Structure 1
Amino acid sequence: MNKLAFIFPGQGSQYVGMGKDLVHNYPIAREVFEEASEALGFSLEKYCFDGTMEELSQTEITQPAILTVSVAAFKVITNETDLVPSLVAGHSLGEYSALVSAGVISLADAVRLVHKRGRFMQEAVEQNVGAMAAVYGMDKEIVREVCLSASKDGHEVVISSYNSPEQVVISGHRLAVEQAGASLTGMGAKVIPLRVSAPFHCALMASAGERMRKELEGQVFGSFTYPVISNVTGRPYDRSDEIVQNLTDQITLPVLWSESMKYAVEHGISSVIELGPQTVLRNLMKQNAPDIHACSFGESKDLKAVQEVIAKQQTAEPDKLLFIIRCLAIAVCTRNTNWDNEAYTKGVIEPYRKVQHMLEELESSGGQPTMEQMREALTMLQSVFTTKGTEKEEQQERFEQIQRETRTWELFPQLAEGILEAEPVVL
């Protein structure tokens, strides 16, 4: 099964000139930059195209800048090709880019949020108090034990990111990070101090997390167009109401990137495209899942590398199990306007639970859904739409979305015309 994932980079992937090629060659990328700059009240092009690395590396500038370049790359890819991901994920800051791509947060809201996120993280710790370092070639359990031993006298160091089986990142008080780094080096690990303005993803960021929670609690979130993997769980969000807690926890808890990529592999992802500056995550895929075809897209010349992914997706078989999964996910995320408890139970809860039980049995047995089971999932979703009072236009958009993501146009050709009652094609 040829499933595709989009992944988005985090802080550290910035460079002067990023996004310039996209803006020069694609009007839609320029529109992204213009929208982001207007939302922020200052020009991101100034920092990304003409600024210095020192200016661009200020955390409160870096974060909205990387997010904007990543979203611009996403817009170009989806505008220039027919590629539709089965899931998306982003590393740390990149999770916000993933949420924008899935339609959960608007670009304008996202850049404002991460601009504040960067400032809150910068202000959480005085300069030179904290530090971070990448550790290569050492078992994570050993790194964890060394961090525990180095954490004393009020100084703490922890693993802040599980990037791959070969690489973790440690973060905390500078003295503890340096001591842990020296110990790990003596044990044969390669330790590289990172040039960062604050120690991310550790307890020193607690005040930034609380400030960010207040910002997130005032945010309106949309429905998920496709699954987004959370950094703190290594699994997709189940509900929109998890977003505030997960993005708050993300600031102080480690990034489970290796676990996230393991989930992607276990759920059939065979191709990955990194959208944004640099190729950090693409390179990590070689360690996390060497059999996955990974490429990156951050400049127009990178489109050539995407052609192989396009070819794979064009020859992919319909994903029948994902069809059931997406029907359930959209049923959950669709906004409700009907508060009649009896009608809601009969029109939403009961049919949803029936299809959910069916999916659990399929996943347990490893079987593929029959056409009758797929039709039952569609009927459930139609019942949910009707009961919740979903507009016809949104219903049609959601049905078309499911067909794009699961490549099931030929199985239910009439669905594209909004005719749910028609018999499915049996292939």
Structure 2
Amino acid sequence: MRKLALLFPGQGSQYIGMGKELLDESAAARELFAEASEVLGLDLQQLIFQGSTEELTRTENAQPALLAVSTALFHAYMDDIGVEPICLAGHSLGEFSALTSAGAIPFADALRLVRRRGQLMQEAAAEGLGAMCAIMGSQPEQVERTCLNVSADMNRSVVISNYNSSTQLVISGHREAVEAAAKQLEQGGARIAFLKVSAPFHSPLMQDAAARFEEELAACTYHPFRWPVLSNVTGKPYESLEQIVPYLTKQLTAPVRWDLTMRELLAAGVAVAAELGPKQVLTQFVRTDAKSITCYPYEKTLERGQLKEELAGEIKDEAKRRRTNNVVTRCLAAAVCTRNRNWDLEEYERGFVAPYRQVQHLQQQLDESGEEPTKEQMQEALEHLRQMFVTKRVPEQEQQERFAEILRLTGTTELFSSLLQQESH
């Protein structure tokens, strides 16, 4: 099976009408948007589909809107394709979408965080002191040297804020310094394009906003990663939940190292990627610097169909893997490989053989239908296994370990956490 990565775009990808095809087709997406509207206290669909470009582009609106669209597309991907990624990565704001999709930040909390992040960034923008400019066709070393020289000469700060690709960098800082650095680089043969922002994102000038945002981040509760998530600050996967607050804080003042993210994806052997969000910005970056990775945008109905066709073999393998690695199958295996300490044949027939046959019958039904077990079917299998363990007189500690292993291997620990709590008493 080829390795897959899921990518989430950042601010700048938003546009009026983004995600409309998905919402027209998916009741689940409409429910997610309704939840977002309730959390934010605004009509998100109205903002995205009937609002003005100026209103949507406001940082405090664009960020939660993009998070909602990307999260809806992630759910659509998992429902329709479901091939497990080896990692997730997001560009700037997109890192929040990645962390949310990986289960580390609850959706409602992520919405509140990015709304506040946007407000703090918007407040910095209101000062009008900063600017950002894209630089195309200049080497990073030349841009870095120019930024250092201009900053020293003018006593004003300008830095590289985004290492987007081998052909595109972004500089950020005091407006006068950014303009001076951009002019020098243009005279040296680079192409420049000033961004429609007035705040110097991902630069030291965002330090006050970062300090205030850190307090917001520290007040949240984070949860285990379902898949690895790459950090914009390091380009490497988060190693622990404790890194979320410092990394997302530093992200406001440090450059976005998308170049390191691309290298990490290549080093990990990623062959296919999907961009879960509007437009195709990250897809183009991948096609520029990671040509061995086939990247698909995933916003439009046609695009989603193309990715599904590309992953047809993986989808088949994933379905087979799930059929052979589910709670019911694991219960059968655990029942057989656990040592028996009960030689009362009548009790064994009643307490082990009969429930084992019930789980076998359940597995046969799943094999015939090709479906995954429901929560009720998994619960039934676990209860039968509990009875079989009792009959075999398996020690309580070993029972706990067996149940914990089954839930871990099948990714259902959270779903059946009460079972483990019950076993520990």
Alignment partner of 1:79 is 2:79: yes
DSSP-derived class of the 1:304 partner = helix
What is the match of residue 267 of structure 1?
Answer: 268
Q: Compute the TM-score of the two structures, normalised by the length of structure 2.
A: 0.75
What is the match of residue 413 of structure 1?
Answer: none
Which residues in structure 2 correspond to 1:80-119 (within 5 Å)? 80-119=80-119
Which residues in structure 2 correspond to 1:2-401 (within 5 Å)? 2-151=2-151, 152-314=153-315, 396-401=406-411
What amino acid sits opposite 2:252 in the alignment? I
Q: What is the alpha-carbon distance in structure 2 between the residues aligned to residue 216 and residue 18 of structure 1?
A: 28
Q: What is the alpha-carbon distance in structure 2 between the residues aligned to residue 95 and residue 268 of structure 1?
A: 21
Asked whether the equivalents of residues 125 and 197 of structure 2 are also in contact (C-alpha less than 8 Å), the reply is no
Q: What is the alpha-carbon distance in structure 2 between the residues aligned to residue 290 and residue 33 of structure 1?
A: 35
What CA deviation, in whole Å up to 9, does each residue of 1:73-100 have, x standing for no partner?
0011111122211100000000000001
What CA deviation, in whole Å up to 9, does each residue of 1:220-241 have, x standing for no partner?
0000000000000100000000
Asked whether the equivalents of residues 60 and 117 of structure 1 are also in contact (C-alpha less than 8 Å), the reply is yes
Q: What's the offset of the Cα at 1:308?
A: 3.9
What CA deviation, in whole Å up to 9, does each residue of 1:30-62 have, x standing for no partner?
111111111111111111111010000100000
Q: What's the offset of the Cα at 1:197?
A: 3.9
DSSP-derived class of the 2:131 partner = strand
Asked whether the equivalents of residues 81 and 315 of structure 2 are also in contact (C-alpha less than 8 Å), the reply is no
DSSP-derived class of the 1:294 partner = strand
DSSP-derived class of the 2:216 partner = helix
Q: What's the offset of the Cα at 1:300?
A: 2.1
Gapped regions of structure 2 (runs ≥ 5): 319-395, 417-425
Q: What's the offset of the Cα at 1:22?
A: 1.1
Q: What is the alpha-carbon distance in structure 2 between the residues aligned to residue 244 and residue 313 of structure 1?
A: 35
Q: What is the alpha-carbon distance in structure 1 between the residues aligned to residue 77 and residue 52 of structure 2?
A: 28
Q: Compute the TM-score of the two structures, normalised by the length of structure 1.
A: 0.75
Q: What's the offset of the Cα at 1:316?
A: 7.0
What amino acid sits opposite 2:118 in the alignment? G
Q: What is the count of residue pairs matched by the alignment?
A: 335
DSSP-derived class of the 1:277 partner = coil
DSSP-derived class of the 1:128 partner = coil
Q: What is the alpha-carbon distance in structure 2 between the residues aligned to residue 138 and residue 128 of structure 1?
A: 27
Asked whether the equivalents of residues 206 and 252 of structure 1 are also in contact (C-alpha less than 8 Å), the reply is yes
Q: What's the offset of the Cα at 1:398?
A: 3.2
Q: What's the offset of the Cα at 1:392?
A: 8.2
Query: Judging changes above 3 Å, is the alpha-carbon distance between structure 1 residues 187 and 27 closer, same or farther for their aligned structure 2 residues?
Result: same
DSSP-derived class of the 1:237 partner = coil
Gapped regions of structure 1 (runs ≥ 5): 318-385, 403-417, 419-427
What CA deviation, in whole Å up to 9, does each residue of 1:325-383 have, x standing for no partner?
xxxxxxxxxxxxxxxxxxxxxxxxxxxxxxxxxxxxxxxxxxxxxxxxxxxxxxxxxxx
Query: Judging changes above 3 Å, is the alpha-carbon distance between structure 1 residues 390 and 168 closer, same or farther for their aligned structure 2 residues?
Result: farther
DSSP-derived class of the 2:193 partner = strand
Q: What is the alpha-carbon distance in structure 1 between the residues aligned to residue 316 and residue 123 of structure 2?
A: 50
Query: Judging changes above 3 Å, is the alpha-carbon distance between structure 1 residues 139 and 390 closer, same or farther for their aligned structure 2 residues?
Result: farther
Q: What is the alpha-carbon distance in structure 1 between the residues aligned to residue 13 and residue 42 of structure 2?
A: 21
Asked whether the equivalents of residues 125 and 204 of structure 1 are also in contact (C-alpha less than 8 Å), the reply is no
What amino acid sits opposite 2:264 in the alignment? Y
Q: What is the alpha-carbon distance in structure 2 between the residues aligned to residue 212 and residue 56 of structure 1?
A: 22
What CA deviation, in whole Å up to 9, does each residue of 1:178-211 have, x standing for no partner?
1111111111111111112421100111011001
